[in-house]
Chains A and B, each alone.
Chain A
Amino acid sequence: MSADTAVVRPTLAVWKFASCDGCQLSLLDLEPELLAITRAVRIAHFTEMTRAHVEGPYDVSLVEGSITTDDDVARILEVREQSRYLVTIGACAATGGIQALRNFVEPGAFPAMVYAHPEYLRALDTSTPVSAHVAVDYELRGCPIDRFQLLEVILALLAHRRPIVATHSVCQECKARGTVCLAVLGESACLGPVTRAGCNALCPSVGRGCFGCFGPSEGANVDSLTQWLRSHGHADVTLARLLQTFNAAAPDFREGATNLVATKVTLGAPPRSRKERL
């Protein structure tokens, strides 16, 4: 970054934990707005984008990824300490992400399946959301997040107001855009009624059921939905798989899947640990 101009801009830091980089990429994907954003805020830390590093404290920290190592645990505490607002971006940071599937198997089962020398690894047996470790000011959902919702959150924080981000379900977005209901048609199992809005009902618009990548909506009644879908011919194993993807450890989805008999089948060989690790 070049020297500051006369006006002191708020600082924005972007931090990565266990993740795919897709949510921080969403910031760069705001192509027409990106340079305007960098004129409004000073990018103080963002390794995907810059070599420069400005020491904290930071006005806003965006945190991508879940906590999966001892180093992560220590680093997220430092990020919290240094940040006025801590905003998590994406399913990994909000619920543990797809990598939280390890929480449902015996510790050590996954590393042994992938690495010849699991003893070289320094990783925890669980993948946990940021909120399990520090206070979070705002969680932006999605796998990946929607870039315009991210823009809204940044604008809101700059204006010291609450972000305007819908908390209702994908189901309502479908109705609003006039997409014919796939679940009623019986063509597809759909998590739209229990999944947080934000994608503008993207999957139903291409003729596939919602697979819950934004995580549970407020007040989601997962059991009611799974019973209904089951009575319309969808197998438990299909429903359990739907619930056990990118937000598998979100409490509503986790319990919904646990209440389906086929859950153990879904994750294959290793049985679910008795120990509750979330």
Chain B
Amino acid sequence: MTHGTNRSRTVSAEGVARVEGEGSLRVVVHDGIVSEVSLDIFEPPRYFEAMLVGRHFSEAPDITARICGICPVAYQLTACAAMEDAVGIVVGDRVQLLRRLLYCGEWIQSHALHVYLLHAPDFLMCQDAVELAEREPSVIERGLALKRTGNLVMETVGGRAVHPVNVRVGGFYSAPEPAAIAALADPLQRALDAALATVNWVAGFDFPDVTSSYRFVALRQDGRYAIDGGRPGSSDGLDVTPQHFAELSVEEHVARSTALHARLDGRSYLTGPLARYALNASLLPGVVRNAARAAGLGETCVNPFQSIVVRALELVFACDEALRLVAQYEPPAPAADAVVARAGVGTGVTEAPRGLLLHQYEIDADGNIVHARIMPPTSQNQLSIEEDLRRVVEGGLDLNDDDLRWRCEQAVRNHDPCISCAAHFLDLKVEHS
């Protein structure tokens, strides 16, 4: 809605759609100058870090999966990494490669969902993917088939797509039969072709001319495009252990949000596809780099609206990587390494589809959790998203209110925020005073 005078107006939007969870967005404009931007998250708190205290370390993967139904594998595998760090074990290569395959499935599922169902309709002026499907049914069907392939990988390795059951600290409950993994190759090959077509499709969208000087933070994983682990690094030279990163990143609780706001050395930063691409693009295989070149993307992408192109490139990568992992699959035997509890603190980091995820646990000698800290991507990205919104509003004051509101929603969706993870989403109020 809008009201205002020559000098001022108010635009509001309630319940920003096509993001996971519930939140709202408020922008105050005074004499053409944006004076306040806030992303208010009213997702009701569920207190995961408190619920975990007193539980056994082996329960953390399944409990924390329930933080987010869109990226449960990220939660499960980050919890595993943290617990394995706490008890001082490193899982075998076969387990780690199977985890990476499972994680590729989640990237395919989550990115296909975001690109086709949540984000693309914005660029084509559709309310949703159903409206888009009426115009371009074969495109949406291609997106749904991609998403299905991601789910198929998760079902084959994890047992089911939402909250997989086969993941445990130390490895898996059982190793999938080689024939079941081999059967993923054909659908993944088709998904790879669909992902390449996706890059071509989204690269043709009209992007608002908005750029930002992000401070990118992503994991670096020995010679590979990071997914299932690595060392936190930044575009301004940070290169630290996960433990050190946990110390450097400070979360603040502000009155308007049940998501905490993270700062690194007191400053905002951005994780997710743009950050991963900026730090690790050189590690992408030729098929992805060629697609990036054809899409007109340089070594970094600093237009948040083009994150959809980067996400599409990561779809290509995840399909290609999954194919590679399928081809070289050898079942881990045993399916899980033995895990013996000991008192300690452990930190785990992985790249969830929407950004860096950190878990840190302290456990006692009996394996009971004494303290838990979970830093989801959205709380780390929140300040950067607000900075984007400020830029978008400043550059969009000539738009009418409905268009400005839509543009703001889009600026939020650019970062695929998972609000149920961070509350720890969206109601837009642009107040012009």
Contact B68 A48 (CB under 8 A): no
Indicate if the CB atoms of B66 and A114 lie closer than 8 Å.
no
Given contacts A20-B69, A110-B47, A268-B53, contact A48 B17 (CB under 8 A): yes
Q: Is A121 positioned at the interface, with any CB of B under 8 Å from its CB?
A: yes
Nearest to B426 among chain A residues (CB) is A47
Decide if B66 touches A143 in the complex (CB within 8 Å): yes
The answer to whether A25 touches B17, judged by C-beta atoms less than 8 angstroms apart, is no
Known A-B contacts A32-B148, A120-B255, A208-B165; A21 and B63 likewise in contact (beta carbons under 8 Å) = no
Contacts known (A50-B127, A245-B59); A111 close to B47, Cβ less than 8 A: yes
Contact A1 B62, CB 8 Å, known A31-B147, A121-B258, A208-B173: no
| Bound form: Cα–Cα A211–B59 in Å | 11
Q: Would A21 and B68 be within 8 Å (CB), given that A35-B137, A47-B18, A114-B45 are in contact?
A: yes
Q: Is A16 an interface residue (CB 8 A)?
A: yes
Chain A residues near B22: list those with CB within 8 A.
16, 47
- Cα distance, A203 to B167, chains bound together (Å): 11
Q: Judge if A117 is at the interface, Cβ distance under 8 Å.
A: yes
Residue in A2, A23, A53, A208 whose CB lies within 8 Å of B69: A23
Q: Is B161 an interface residue (CB 8 A)?
A: yes
Q: For the complex, is A173 an interface residue (Cβ under 8 Å from B)?
A: no
Q: Write the nearest CB–CB distance from B50 to chain A, whole angstroms.
A: 4
Q: In this assembly, does A156 line the interface, its C-beta being within 8 Å of a C-beta of chain B?
A: no
With the chains together, A267 CA to B63 CA distance in Å? Answer: 13
In the complex the two chains form, what is the Cα distance from A102 to B148 in whole Å? 36
Complex formed: what's the CA distance from A115 to B258 in Å? Answer: 9
Contacts of B253 in A (CB 8 A): 115-117, 120
Is A266 engaged at the interface, CB distance under 8 Å to the other chain?
A: yes
Check A157 for interface membership: any CB of B closer than 8 A: no
Residues of A within 8 A of B418 (CB): 21
With contacts A21-B70, A269-B54 taken as known, whether A50 is within 8 angstroms of B130 at the C-beta atoms is yes
* Given A97-B66, A207-B174, A241 contacting B17 (CB threshold 8 A): no
Would A110 and B50 count as touching, CB distance under 8 A? yes
Given contacts A23-B69, A25-B69, A269-B53, whether A35 and B130 have CB atoms under 8 Å apart is: yes
A29→B148 CA distance, assembly (Å): 7
Determine the distance from Cα of A98 to Cα of B17 in the docked complex, in whole angstroms. Answer: 25
Given A47-B15, A109-B50, A28 and B117 contact (CB-CB distance below 8 Å): yes
B115 to chain A, nearest CB (A): 13
Cβ-based interface call for B55 (8 A): yes
The complex places the Cα of A21 from the Cα of B168 at a distance, in Å, of: 23
Q: Say yes or no: A206 contacts B130, CB within 8 Å.
A: no
Given A20-B420, A267-B54, A113:B17 Cβ within 8 A: no
Q: In the complex the two chains form, what is the Cα distance from A47 to B130 in whole Å?
A: 13
Contact A1 B131 (CB under 8 A): yes
Give the interface segment out of B138-146, B225-233, B241-249: B138-146
Tell me which residues across on chain A come within 8 A of B127, comparing CB atoms: 1, 50-52
Cα of A2 to Cα of B67 in the assembled complex, Å? 33
B160 within 8 Å of A (CB atoms): yes
Interface residues of B in 384-433 (CB under 8 A from A): 406, 409, 418, 420
A51: B residues at CB distance < 8 A: 17-18, 127-128, 406, 409
How many residues on chain A are close to B (CB under 8 Å)?
Answer: 67
Give the residue name and chain of the A residue nearest to B370 (CB).
Answer: A268
**Residue of A19, A98, A117, A203 with most chain B CB atoms under a 10 A cut-off:** A98
Q: Which of A48, A116, A208 contacts B18 (CB 8 A)?
A: A48
Q: Is B184 among interface residues, defined by CB-CB distance under 8 A?
A: no
Report chain A residues within 8 Å CB of B59.
241, 245
Please measure, in the bound complex, the distance between the C-alpha atom of A21 and the C-alpha atom of B44, giving whole angstroms: 13
Most chain A CB neighbours (cut-off 10 Å) among B19, B43, B55? B55
Are the C-beta atoms of B134 and A2 separated by less than 8 Å? yes
A113/B50 contact (C-beta < 8 A), A52-B128, A213-B163, A266-B55 known? yes
Contact of B46 with A by CB under 8 A: yes
Q: Are A202 and B44 in contact (CB under 8 A)?
A: no
Residues of chain A within 8 A (CB-CB) of B70 are: 21-22, 25
The listed residue (B17, B44, B159, B160) touching A47 by CB distance below 8 A is B17
Q: Which residues of B contact A17 (CB under 8 A)?
A: 44
Taking the closest CB of chain A, its distance from the CB of B122, in whole angstroms, is: 9
Instruction: Report which of A38, A68, A98 forms a contact with B130, defined as CB distance below 8 A.
Output: A38
The reply to whether the CB of A123 lies closer than 8 angstroms to some CB of chain B is yes
A101 at the interface (CB under 8 A from B): yes
Q: Which of A26, A99, A113, A266 is within 8 Å of B49, CB to CB?
A: A113
Residues from 213 to 251 in A contacting B, C-beta threshold 8 Å: 213, 241, 245-246
Residues of B in contact with A (beta carbons under 8 Å apart) = 15-22, 43-51, 53-56, 59, 62-63, 66-70, 72, 113, 117-118, 127-131, 133-134, 137, 140-141, 144-145, 147-148, 151, 159-163, 165-166, 168, 172-174, 252-255, 258, 368, 406, 409, 418, 420
- 6 smallest A-B Cβ distances: which pairs? A22-B69, A268-B54, A50-B128, A113-B50, A110-B50, A110-B47
* 21 residue pairs A–B, Cβ–Cβ below 8 Å: A20-B68, A21-B69, A22-B72, A28-B147, A38-B130, A47-B17, A48-B18, A48-B20, A50-B18, A50-B127, A51-B409, A52-B131, A114-B49, A114-B50, A115-B45, A116-B253, A117-B253, A117-B255, A120-B255, A203-B165, A245-B59
Given contacts A21-B68, A31-B145, A115-B258, 14 further A-B contacts (CB under 8 A): A19-B69, A19-B420, A26-B162, A35-B133, A47-B16, A49-B130, A111-B45, A114-B47, A203-B173, A206-B165, A206-B166, A207-B174, A246-B66, A265-B54
